[in-house]
Amino acid sequence: MNNPAIQHLLDIDSLSFEQLNALLDLAAEISRDPGAFANRLEGQIMINLFFEPSTRTRLSFEIAAKRLGMRVVNFWSESSSSVKGEALIDTFHTLTAMGPEVITIRHSRDGVVKSLAAEADKACHIINAGNGRHQHPTQALVDALTLKLTRGDVAPLVVTIAGDIEHSRVARSAIDVFRKLGAAEIRLAGPEELLPCEDIDGTEKFTSLDEAARGADVIMMLRIQRERFGELELPDEAAYFETWGLTPQRLGLANEACVVMHPGPVNRGVEIASEVVDGEQSLIRQQAKNGVFARMAVLLTLLNKA
């Protein structure tokens, strides 16, 4: 695998088309025979530096790293010296001084991961594991890989992303990755309060899920990210589900082969019906499985062992 060097993975936009495809090709190769890559990064150390909760991202990074033979150290912000007032930059310098090869960072503020990466020395690779509303690049790789493995090619697909787009780093990374891969259409659907005010290049906004679902090949549902906004008048969960929940009936408006995605965590009965989560068109569990392969590909690429 010949992939140009990538020092840090901070967002999707910074990847060239060739780098993106090389990462996806490598992840697909790993998915076919993960054992062939066992212990390629033996002895190297990864720190998970998470300041927000996570199930999928943190654990799949940990499993990916361990499958590659890395040693993993988890930083728990609530039991760290952050609670004694240590500034983030001092925590970061303390950790980099200990010599890990990789630090994954999740933080609630948009600019934090990029500014910390600028402080890292060459021997340490930084991976954005989700920052504020800005980016979640490894989730976008997971989503693109999942479509590549199930649909072959993203280019001919009509993709609908629905729910809370405004507060979603997943949406921003997904838009970037699908646009880079040449998706036929990218539709953004949600109540006006949860749609971005600005127009996003290469996308079209919808304020009806029925309309956005009609003719779609992929529907990606997003939860409402209440932790990212203060006062916002939103309908209660039952009323939201009535208008914005992906039900089997609404899914029936999409193309017959339409697949359903969700980055998780899923709120059943709010943005998506249980029957759809567990239904035959759902790729949600495959997304979780592919999370390990995509992150193995990222680690191998950054550490130049692809």
Residue closer to ligand CP, measured from CB, 181 or 222? 222
| Cα distance between residue 114 and residue 135, in whole Å | 11
| Cα distance between residue 170 and residue 131, in whole Å | 10
Applying CB under 6 A, does 265 fall inside the site for ligand CP?
A: yes
| Residue count, binding to ligand CP (CB under 6 A) | 10
What minimum distance in Å lies between the beta carbon of 11 and ligand CP?
15
| Cα distance between residue 128 and residue 110, in whole Å | 11
What minimum distance in Å lies between the beta carbon of 288 and ligand CP?
9
Q: Give yes or no for a contact between 189 and 161, defined as CB atoms under 8 angstroms apart.
A: yes
Cα 210–chain centre separation: 25
Other CB atoms closer than 10 Å to residue 56's CB: what's the count? Answer: 17
Applying CB under 6 A, does 168 fall inside the site for ligand CP?
A: no
Q: What angle do CA 24, 292, 272 make, to 5 degrees?
A: 90
What minimum distance in Å lies between the beta carbon of 154 and ligand CP?
19
What one-character DSSP code corresponds to residue 282? B
Residue closer to ligand CP, measured from CB, 61 or 206? 61
Orientation angle between helical segments 169-180 and 137-151, nearest 10 degrees: 50
| Cα distance between residue 134 and residue 110, in whole Å | 5
| Cα distance between residue 82 and residue 92, in whole Å | 11
Among 163, 191, 245, 264, which residue sits at the site for ligand CP (rule: CB under 6 A)? 264
What minimum distance in Å lies between the beta carbon of 67 and ligand CP?
18
Applying CB under 6 A, does 248 fall inside the site for ligand CP?
A: no
Q: Give yes or no for a contact between 141 and 119, defined as CB atoms under 8 angstroms apart.
A: no
**Helix (H) or strand (E) segment spanning residue 160:** strand 158-162
For residue 134, the one-letter residue type is H
Q: Two tokens at 142?
A: 């997971």
Binding mask 9-48 for ligand CP (x = CB under 6 A): ----------------------------------------
Residue closer to ligand CP, measured from CB, 31 or 54? 54
What minimum distance in Å lies between the beta carbon of 228 and ligand CP?
13
Applying CB under 6 A, does 56 fall inside the site for ligand CP?
A: yes
Residue closer to ligand CP, measured from CB, 57 or 91? 57
Residue closer to ligand CP, measured from CB, 245 or 291? 291
What minimum distance in Å lies between the beta carbon of 264 and ligand CP?
5
Q: Two tokens at 274?
A: 């249980």
Residue closer to ligand CP, measured from CB, 40 or 56? 56
- Torsion on CA atoms 193, 219, 173, 284, rounded to nearest 10: 120
Applying CB under 6 A, does 263 fall inside the site for ligand CP?
A: yes
Q: Which of residues 125-144 bind ligand CP (CB under 6 A)?
A: 130, 136, 139
Stretch that binds ligand CP, among 117-125, 172-180, 224-232, 258-266 (CB under 6 A): 258-266
Orientation angle between helical segments 56-67 and 137-151, nearest 10 degrees: 70
Orientation angle between helical segments 17-32 and 169-180, nearest 10 degrees: 100
Applying CB under 6 A, does 57 fall inside the site for ligand CP?
A: yes
Residue closer to ligand CP, measured from CB, 137 or 191? 137
What minimum distance in Å lies between the beta carbon of 107 and ligand CP?
13
What minimum distance in Å lies between the beta carbon of 275 and ligand CP?
22
Q: Where does this chain bind ligand CP (CB under 6 A)?
A: 54-57, 130, 136, 139, 263-265
